[in-house]
Amino acid sequence: MARAVRSAMETGQHLMVQAGTGTGKSLAYLVPAVLHSDRVVVATATLALQHQLVERDIPALLDAAADLLGARPSYAVLKGRSNYACLHRVRDGAPDDQGALVALPTGSMGAEVLALRKWAESESKAGGVGDRDSAPPHTDRPWQQVSVSHRECLGAAKCPYGVECFAERARDRAMASRLIVTNHSLLAIDAVEGVPMIPEYDVVVVDEAHELAARVTQAATDELSVSMIERAARRAGNFLDEGEAEELGDSADALRAALDDTEAGRVDRLPEGLGAALAMVRSAARAAFSAFPKESSDSDVNAARQQARGMVDEVRKISERLVEHDEADVTWVADRDRSRGGSQLFVAPLQVWGPLRDKLLSDKTVIFTSATLKLGGDFTALATSIGLKPTERADHSIDTPGDVSAVAAVEVEDAGGSGAAASGDDEAPRVLAWRGIDVGSPFDYQRQAMLYIARHLPVPGRDGIGMSQLAEIQGLVQAADGRTLGLFSSRRAAETAADAAREALPHLPILCQGDGQLSHLQAEFLANPAVSLFGTLSLWQGLDIPGPTCQLVIIDRIPFPRP
């Protein structure tokens, strides 16, 4: 695999490489990456794998290869802005729904927010990164009190704390690094949407590549709800004449009425009432956005203004996309009860292979890797979903699992040169040559593992995990003396199972996703073999637990994707 990755980086030809779980995929692409003459970006789907790369794999590789490399290559992790603490929020407070800046939320969040603010200040003084992963344990709402989205950010030039900004420092470190570790979403925004988020690069390794199409789709999906418009109108009301804010609020009422008359599900053609309501939202958001006053000399006022304007702009852009009802998009209504904000409108691209092909594969050299790239023993399905055509595949690709003897053949051949090269005719379709390799796995699962299926249990239903399933889980955890990773299809199921196991097995510590930051939970799970860890999708991949800690994996149901 390492030789094939090196060849791809040298020739510019795209590569799909499948390798079994636990076989060392990260080292197989990191070694060629640190030896490559230019910057390489590594994009992961999960924070767990990102953490593993930055905290363990890359430092271990650089330490081991120090004598061979001479100078130590620089590396950095780059995440979205909301993953870093915002010093403006920390020091000057967060605006409430009325736009006023509040110093500290009341109630149960207060202690967590105070701890986060104290941590952020200590990070700033120590020259730290302000990354959420290194923050003290907290839940989502307190984090929102100390962070901002890219739309809410004042920008380094206008923010009084721009020089100290954690997000800007992270970008500066990335600019100075040969190796950048980021995520699929940031890669999608940078490459597909054309918003510059990552410093210039020519080669990208996409790990957990089976998730790429879904993550790019997720990044390109927009959501519009009545409550979202109402919040924007309330915030905007502090800076606009009464008419503009009131018009935006009225459009929210119109959308609520239209959604009440629209059935949940896919919307192939906008019903007349819904189309009219969306046009009203678009018109009101455009007027409100244009009416915002110029910046003030007061940085606090500017912060609240920027955030209000950003919320209105988001409503404007999403409503415009929904009204256009582009045939390349799919629109649907998701039904929720009024206590949770009522129905929502979603719009997403029908496919992302076109943008990926035109804006990523045609411009960069891309190496895709995962333990599950093949479907039915073939790369074709996944390759097609991310923009690679089966007809462009090089004839000398290696499909036999473990057939690494043939890998050397790919090192010297260059079928058409760079994967981003055109065919020579500006009007002709571009040919993006690629290879597919399956290097297999050295593990003998027939002898080294046991699969147990609890056939006596009832079929899982919509009501969640049942008493018989809970009893089975408790018996298995007891038999394994802890040392269990529980993977559940929903947060509710994980929490229910964890609570029941704690009550039934008080002598065994049970951790559950949501008890703290994932990195902290993983560290505790790894350090104490008696601990069991229950969670959802974040634990399904990218989690590396070597040694005796994880002896049993429980899956409550096979996670078939929702239609």
Residue 4 has pLDDT above 60, yes or no: yes
- Both structure tokens of 285: 């958001």
Is 200 found in the same domain as 58?
yes
**pLDDT band with cut points at 50, 70 and 90 for residue 8:** very high
Over residues 34-53, mean pLDDT: 92
Q: 55 with 181, same domain?
A: yes
Task: Judge if 41 and 189 occupy the same domain.
Answer: yes
pLDDT of residue 439: 94
pLDDT exceeds cutoff 50 at 408? no
Tokens of 515: 């008890």
Report d(CA 348, CA 437) in Å as an integer.
32
Report whether pLDDT(399) > 70.
no
pLDDT at position 402 is 57
Q: Tens digit of pLDDT for each residue in 290-309? A: 999 887 767 677 778 888 89
Segment 312-333 mean pLDDT: 95
Residue 519 lies in a domain: yes
- Residue 437 · residue 411 · CB < 8 Å: no
- Kindly tell me if the per-residue pLDDT of 423 is higher than 70: no
- 380-391 residue pLDDT tens: 999 999 999 999
Closest CA to 366 of 537, 135, 205: 205
| Domain's final residue, options 169, 199, 232 | 169
Question: Which of 30, 132, 18, 51 has the alpha carbon at shortest distance from 544?
Answer: 51
Mean pLDDT calculated for residue range 485-505? 94
User: Percentage of the chain with pLDDT > 90?
Assistant: 64
pLDDT digits (tens, 9 = 90+) for 234-293: 999 999 988 889 999 999 999 999 999 999 999 999 999 999 999 999 999 999 999 998
Q: How confident is the model at residue 99 (pLDDT cuts 50, 70, 90)?
A: very low
Same domain, 336 and 263: yes
CA separation for the pair 483, 378 (Å, rounded): 35
In a domain, 160, yes or no: yes
* Strand 329-334 versus strand 344-349 pairing type: antiparallel
Tell me if 561 is assigned to some domain.
Answer: no
* Residue 53 lies inside a defined structural domain of this protein: yes
pTM, entire model: 0.84
Q: Reply yes or no on whether the pLDDT at 3 is more than 90.
A: yes
Counting Cβ atoms within 10 Å, is residue 23 exposed (0-12), middle (13-18) or buried (19+)? middle
Q: Does 183 lie in the same domain as 63?
A: yes
> Where do we find the tokens 């920390």?
90
pLDDT mean over 411-440:
64
- Contact, 4 vs 15, CB < 8 A? yes
Which band of pLDDT confidence, cut at 50, 70 and 90, is reported for residue 428?
A: low
Name which of 12-16, 122-126, 528-532, 542-546 the model is least confident about: 542-546
357 and 421 fall within a common domain: yes
- 3-state SS track over 57-126: HHHHHHHHCHHHHCCCCCEEECCCHHHECCHHHHHHCEECCCCCEECCCCCCHHHHHHHHHHHHHHHHHC
**Quick check: 108 pLDDT over 80?**
no
- Give the percent of the chain with pLDDT over 70: 88
The CATH number that applies at residue 508 is 3.40.50.300
361 shares its domain with 293: no
Q: Is residue 313 part of a domain?
A: yes
Spatial CA neighbour of 519 closest among 546, 489, 542: 542
Range of the domain at 381: 2-74+177-217+352-440
413 and 531: one domain? no
Say how far apart CA 37 and CA 189 lie, in whole Å.
Answer: 25
In-domain check, residue 108: yes
* Any domain includes 200: yes
Beta-carbon count within 10 A of 312 CB: 30
Of 30-34, 292-296, 342-346, 410-414, the one with minimum mean pLDDT is: 410-414
Torsion of CA 523, 527, 533, 538, to 10 degrees: 30
pLDDT in tens, 155-182: 888 888 999 999 999 999 999 999 999 9
Helix 226-236 with 299-324: angle, nearest 10 deg:
140
Task: Give the residue among 228, 260, 254, 229 at the shortest CA–CA distance from 343.
Answer: 260
Confidence of residue 410 (pLDDT cuts 50, 70, 90): very low
How many separate domains does the chain show? 4
pLDDT-based confidence at residue 345 (cuts at 50, 70, 90): very high
Note the pLDDT of residue 340.
53
| Burial grade of 419 (CB within 10 A; 0-12, 13-18, 19 or more) | buried
Region 188-204: mean pLDDT is: 89
What number is the average pLDDT over the span 195-217? 94
Same-domain check for residues 100 and 125: yes
- 287 lies in the same domain as 319: yes
Mean pLDDT of the chain: 87
Average pLDDT for residues 485-499, to the nearest whole number? 93
Residue 479 has pLDDT above 50, yes or no: yes
In the numeric block, which tokens belong to residue 181?
A: 């570790």
Domain edge (last residue) among 402, 419, 440: 440
213 vs 540, higher pLDDT: 213
> In terms of domains, do 342 and 363 share one?
no
Would you say residue 547 lies in a domain? yes
**One domain for residues 188 and 61:** yes
Tell which of 393, 408, 440 closes a domain.
Answer: 440
Confidence of residue 411 (pLDDT cuts 50, 70, 90): very low
List the beta bridge partners of residue 19.
Answer: 440
Comparing CA positions, the residue from 442, 169, 240, 221 lying closest to residue 349 is 221
